[in-house]
């Protein structure tokens, strides 16, 4: 998903003068003609960025790698007249990436990280331009960013100080494209998507001679369930262990989603794990009386959510009226929603209802991905939020700046339109998943906790880093904690999981102080797990 922070007018004015220096290297010609989408190509430039006071010279490669669905035999491609890359041929994907390699670093000991967003249907533009790439788009902290021209600066919080970086666009997003018979089924789904990414990564390791580098996955949002399935496939089917998996804004069990828990009646956990994020939101907007500091408040709310509140919801219609009233009053204390509204909702408020109702008296809607953001309500008399104010506030800055950067700095030119978010991919997505050990795809909400657990047991050295934002109602931070505490792994492996939380939303890096903390935490995680000291 997306965003970032405000900048002084002087920096906005000087952004254009920064760009030429970023792309100072003369580009090498592409390896394939622009019209041939399903042939690997690459364009190379050079640049530099200063992180933690050290200047890092890097080589940037923007290009594509071709991958095929499960069952493809690269030693014996299908025979016949139809060829890959045509509507009549077998399904094929051209996956776009931008890789940054630190100049002069030994590839055998230099870590490499594969990064992607989620959706499903999102490109990697958000992590690339908002968090860890060598340049960063500037957006407002929690309000709407004014229209172009937008500011772009060297990113002092790029992860290039700790690792080489590969930003990957999922099939059907960004500049990645698919073609062939049954192409949607071949790539749009939990399992085929993970297979495509695993194929991309193994091709990349061969192409750039990085098989013996310390390796990391970093996924955001739907990128976290992708990482769970992907790391299990890489380890168990391709014999490729990774040093670590970094999860941003996690959801592994879709039964815990705050978006529409009413569609699965009888499952009360979504209401419980979303409550701390609702309390954090009310706290941020100064709606709680005599509120303690946020960490103290959240401890109280977490205890209430998994204790009294969980017990009350478990009783359902048998909950005595006095207790029902008491729970509603406690919920009001933590969420600022009216007691009458909470009683009418039968103590169960979804994320979209909360986003619509919290500031509805002022005709405002709060964000879903980042509840610090607000915007005018589309329908003050409605029930649910009808849009995400954060997405509306920052998306144009990301899309416009990337389209300028990829052409003018990376010199990657194509007739294709860059697809930041694809609703076609999302609409065609197969959420069915065959978990490790299951005889078939299970007729339940997607749950990839078994995949991550299997990967951690298969490789007991695998380290996991969980990062969440307090003001995220897309994937509430406490949901991730709950999932990790319920992985089917030996208790000893819980020590392989580390937890970090930030005063930001789904896109943690939208808040500049949180971006700085996130950089420092991820860089430290890489240095603690890269095993370089052993060599």
Three-state SS letters, 78-111:
CCCCCCCCCCCCCCEEEEEEEEEEECCCCCCCCC
For the chain, what is the radius of gyration of the CA atoms? Answer: 23
Helix, strand, coil percentages (3-state) for the chain, rounded to 5, are: 40, 15, 40
Across 388-419, b (16+ Cβ under 10 Å) vs e yields: bbbbebbbbbbbbbbebbbeebbbbebeeebb
| Of 180, 202, 209, 255, the residue nearest 433 (C-alpha) | 255
Taking the C-alpha atoms of residue 284 and residue 287, their distance in angstroms, rounded to an integer, is: 8
- Whether 229 contacts 135, CB under 8 Å: no
Residue 534: the pLDDT is 66
H or E stretch at 116? strand 112-116
Taking the C-alpha atoms of residue 112 and residue 246, their distance in angstroms, rounded to an integer, is: 13
- Predicted TM-score (pTM) of the model is 0.91
Q: Where in the chain is the domain with CATH 3.40.50.1820?
A: 9-255+394-534
Question: CB neighbours of 43 closer than 8 A, spacing ≥ 6?
Answer: 27, 28, 29, 30, 61, 62, 63, 410, 411, 412
Here the tokens at position 315 are 């009783």
Topology, domain 9-255+394-534: Rossmann fold (3.40.50)
- Whether 289 contacts 271, CB under 8 Å: no
Could you say which residues of the chain have pLDDT below 50? 1-35
pLDDT in tens, 182-208: 999 999 999 999 999 999 999 999 999
CA atoms within 13 A on the CB side of 318: 3
Taking the C-alpha atoms of residue 192 and residue 305, their distance in angstroms, rounded to an integer, is: 37
SS3 460: coil
Distance of CA 25 to the CA centre of its chain: 31
Here the tokens at position 176 are 């990645």
């Amino acid at each position: 998903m997306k965003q970032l922070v405000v900048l002084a007018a002087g920096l906005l004015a000087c952004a254009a003068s920064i760009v030429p220096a970023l792309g100072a290297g003369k580009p090498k010609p592409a390896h394939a003609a622009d019209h041939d989408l399903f042939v690997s190509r690459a364009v190379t430039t050079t640049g530099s960025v200063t992180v933690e006071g050290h200047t890092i010279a890097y080589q940037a490669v923007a290009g594509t790698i071709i991958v095929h669905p499960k069952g493809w035999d690269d030693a014996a491609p299908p025979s016949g007249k139809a060829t890959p890359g045509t509507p009549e041929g077998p399904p094929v994907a051209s996956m776009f990436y931008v890789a940054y390699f630190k100049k002069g670093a030994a590839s055998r000991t230099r870590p490499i990280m594969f990064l992607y967003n989620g959706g499903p249907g999102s490109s990697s533009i958000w992590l690339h331009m908002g968090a860890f790439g060598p340049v960063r788009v500037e957006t407002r902290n929690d309000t709407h960013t004014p229209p172009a021209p937008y500011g772009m600066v060297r990113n002092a919080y790029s992860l290039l100080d700790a690792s080489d970086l590969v930003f990957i666009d999922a099939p059907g997003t960004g500049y990645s494209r698919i073609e062939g018979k049954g192409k949607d089924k071949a790539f749009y789904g939990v399992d085929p998507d993970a297979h495509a990414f695993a194929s991309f990564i193994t091709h990349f390791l061969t192409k750039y001679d990085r098989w013996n580098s310390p390796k990391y996955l970093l996924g955001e949002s739907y990128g976290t369930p992708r990482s769970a399935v992907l790391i299990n496939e890489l380890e168990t089917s391709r014999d490729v262990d990774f040093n670590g998996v970094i999860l941003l804004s996690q959801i592994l069990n879709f039964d815990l989603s705050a978006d529409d828990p009413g569609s699965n009646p009888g499952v009360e956990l979504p209401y419980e794990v979303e409550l701390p994020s609702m309390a954090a939101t009310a706290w941020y907007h100064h709606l709680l009386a005599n509120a303690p500091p946020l960490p103290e408040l959240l401890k109280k709310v977490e205890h209430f959510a998994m204790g009294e509140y969980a017990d009350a919801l478990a009783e359902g219609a048998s909950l005595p009226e006095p207790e029902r009233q008491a729970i509603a009053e406690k919920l009001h204390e933590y969420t600022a929603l009216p007691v009458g509204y909470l009683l009418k909702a039968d103590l169960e408020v979804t994320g979209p209802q909360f986003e619509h109702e919290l500031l509805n008296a002022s005709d405002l809607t709060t964000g879903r991905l980042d509840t610090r953001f607000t915007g005018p309500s589309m329908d003050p008399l409605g029930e649910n939020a009808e849009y995400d104010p954060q997405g509306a506030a920052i998306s144009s800055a990301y899309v416009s700046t990337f389209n300028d950067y990829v052409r003018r700095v990376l010199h990657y030119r194509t007739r294709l339109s860059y697809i930041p978010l694809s609703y076609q991919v999302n609409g065609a997505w197969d959420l069915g998943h065959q978990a490790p050990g299951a005889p078939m795809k299970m007729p339940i909400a997607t749950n990839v906790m078994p995949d991550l657990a299997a990967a951690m047991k298969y490789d007991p050295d695998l380290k996991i880093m969980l990062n969440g934002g307090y003001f995220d109602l897309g994937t509430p931070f406490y949901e991730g904690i709950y999932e990790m505490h319920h992985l089917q792994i030996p208790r000893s492996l819980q020590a392989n999981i580390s937890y970090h939380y930030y005063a930001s939303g789904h896109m943690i890096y939208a808040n500049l102080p949180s971006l700085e903390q996130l950089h420092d935490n991820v860089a430290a995680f890489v240095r603690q797990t890269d095993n370089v000291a052993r060599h």
